[in-house]
Amino acid sequence: MRSKPMFGTLLLLTALSGCPSGEPQTGSSGKLTGEVRATTIGEIPLSDPLSLAWNGTPETSVMLLPQTVAYPNLIKQSVKELRVRALADAQFLAVRLEWNDPSLDEKLEVDKFTDGVAVEVPLGDPDKTNPMMGDPANPVFILHWKAAWQRDVDRGRADVQDYHPGFISDRPPFVSGGHPYPISEAFETDNARRYLPGTAAGNPVSKIFRKWPVEELQAEGFGSLADHTYQDSQGKGVWKDGKWTVVLALPRQSPDRANPMFVPGKAVMGFAVWDGANQNVGGRKHWAPFVKVVLP
């Protein structure tokens, strides 16, 4: 574990809390509700969402709403609150997102949907940016984590035999090796990949190998989500005792001009949560409008 003592936390928070758009609220639980305050740390424990280092930064409670603006809507709300903490080091701004979810949903099949979470940051003027996926004049940056991708990273890409043990079918064309023709080994040639059409077409969703369980995206309105060529962000999620704890780490500065910069001061961030058990996917999501993030 790489947690290191924090420094200057109290002084910094006191200095920043008097921001012009109003005092943050403290709820009955003692949590912040109006803004997220990041605390500086020597090195963020990126690989351990449950690290005690996260206890040293205040928790903000973010109320979630069902998405009902664009088709298709989220009809049934199943997650009410997202608990957010933020840490910053020289390289990353990391948010730890925690929410209650009684079931771990990481399987993708026709009727199985994955849990997920995303943060959204305006790339232009926050006051002009629509928190519902931005618009062409004011695009947004999105960092999306999915439980299914976490499974891919932790335990290898889910294959047919993982979901359907003992499944046997004819030899797919042009594959190498023998049964069960693992997708991470047997489909190396272009000819074999032709029978994985999404992968052959370069669809990021169809990637066979994934280094991180997160994806950097850009949007300029509903239905416009597009992935970044360069992926600089990181993340890690853990499901334990009926709740997800997910760390999303965004580089503070990136050579990629499509990434936001996180300089000391203020930023805003929107949030979205998907509950796989309730068939949340795409626009069928829980969301929260922009929340102020105070950065050291």
Q: What residues are paired with 82 via a beta bridge?
A: 62
> Counting contacts by CB under 8 A, is residue 178 touching other proteins?
no
> Counting contacts by CB under 8 A, is residue 167 touching other proteins?
yes
Site of tokens 């780490």: 249
> Counting contacts by CB under 8 A, is residue 185 touching other proteins?
no
Using CB under 8 A, pick the residue from 5, 11, 14, 111 that binds other proteins. 111
Using CB under 8 A, pick the residue from 169, 176, 189, 253 that binds other proteins. 169
Identify the DSSP state of 281.
B
- Options 9-17, 160-168, 228-236, 248-256: segment touching other proteins (CB under 8 A): 160-168
User: Which of 262/274 has CB closer to other proteins?
Assistant: 274
Q: Is 267 exposed, middle or buried (0-12, 13-18, 19+ CB in 10 A)?
A: buried
- Options 87-95, 135-143, 164-172, 250-258: segment touching other proteins (CB under 8 A): 164-172
C-alpha separations of 99 from 86, 115, 119, 277 in Å: 15, 11, 14, 14
- Beta strands (DSSP E) in 130-260 are 140-146, 214-219, 226-227, 234-240, 243-251
What is the distance between the alpha carbons of residues 207 and 284, in angstroms, rounded to a whole number?
A: 23
Q: Is 174 helix (H, G, I), strand (E, B) or coil?
A: coil
Of residues 194-233, which lie at the interface with other proteins (CB under 8 A)?
194-203, 205-206, 222-223, 225
Tell me, what amino acid is at 187? Answer: F
User: Which of 48/135 has CB closer to other proteins?
Assistant: 135
C-alpha separations of 61 from 101, 143, 240 in Å: 16, 20, 19
Q: What residues are paired with 228 via a beta bridge?
A: none
**Residue span 44-73 as binding mask against other proteins, x where in contact by CB under 8 A, dash where not:** ------------------------x-xxxx
Q: How far is the CB of 63 from other proteins (least distance, A)?
A: 20
**Residue span 71-100 as binding mask against other proteins, x where in contact by CB under 8 A, dash where not:** xxxxx-------------------------
Q: How far is the CB of 99 from other proteins (least distance, A)?
A: 21
Q: How far is the CB of 91 from other proteins (least distance, A)?
A: 29
Q: Is 127 helix (H, G, I), strand (E, B) or coil?
A: helix
> Counting contacts by CB under 8 A, is residue 283 touching other proteins?
yes
3, 51 in Cβ contact below 8 A? yes
Other CB atoms within a 10 A radius of the CB of residue 61 amount to: 19
Q: Which residues bind other proteins (CB under 8 A)?
A: 68, 70-75, 108-112, 148, 158-160, 163, 167, 169-170, 172-173, 181, 183, 186-187, 194-203, 205-206, 222-223, 225, 279, 281-283
